Amino acid sequence: MAGSGLELVGLALHAASFLCGVICASALTVTQGEFGGRCILYGSVVNNGSLVLSATSPASLCNFVSTVSILTAILSFVALLRGIYRSCFGNGHPLDGVWVKGSLSVSAVVLFFLMVSACILRVGMDAFCTSIHQAVAAISCQEAQHQPWVSPYHSERFYDNLYTAEAAAWVNFFFWCLMSVMVFMEWFSKAPSGPLRGSGLSRTEETDPIFGAGPLRP
């Protein structure tokens, strides 16, 4: 029952991570679309009666964050399908040690890029909002959504979208941390602890030559 519970939690985390990845990429893509495909992260604004972008970041910066989110969503979806298959046809076999090491390595890479993406969104949005404050364009960055912008910009929800993208990235990072812990928990919960098949020795007796042990017990 404990193993089944861990598997269900793992499936829920993979599904939630998939949604977070899609939400982050979608929100950031919509923001780019509102500004004609330009990336406003780390950008600056001037106030000439109407707000206008005076500088923007390369589109590749926003594309990087979107790509990380999409790839993470794909990995989560694949892991979700694999988890469903194991739950239905795995027969409770313990996880292979090689698979566990590979899974944790992938998780470490994903966590690194998710953290970088979330930091880019956080710092980039702060820089853009600071520029709006310095231009005396609005009381707050959120209020700037309702100010007139020079055509063809349509900025009705740029702050909400960027905030949603950042929140989704950080939540996704947290989910992947939990999933890494889940791999350990599931592995140890299903690892055999009794006598090893065909050896006639217990796990402790077989590892004695490696780690050292006290007197042998009958």
**Per-residue pLDDT, 39:** 92
* Residues contacting residue 207 through CB under 8 Å, at least 6 positions apart: 213
pTM assigned to the model: 0.78
95 in Cβ contact with 186 (< 8 Å): yes
Beta pairing partners, 149: 51
**Per-residue pLDDT, 97:** 66
Give pLDDT tens digits for 56-65.
899 999 999 9
DSSP string, 72-120: HHHHHHHHHHHHHHHHHHSTTPPPPHHHHHHHHHHHHHHHHHHHHHHHH
Q: Which two tokens stand for residue 142?
A: 């959120």
Give pLDDT tens digits for 76-129.
999 888 888 877 776 555 556 677 777 888 888 999 999 999 999 999 999 998
H/E stretch holding 41 reads strand 39-47
**Per-residue pLDDT, 93:** 52
Cα angle vertex 178, ends 111, 63, to 5°? Answer: 30
Low-confidence residues of the chain, pLDDT below 70? 1-4, 90-97, 137, 186-218
Q: CA quadruple 115, 116, 122, 125: dihedral positive or negative?
A: negative
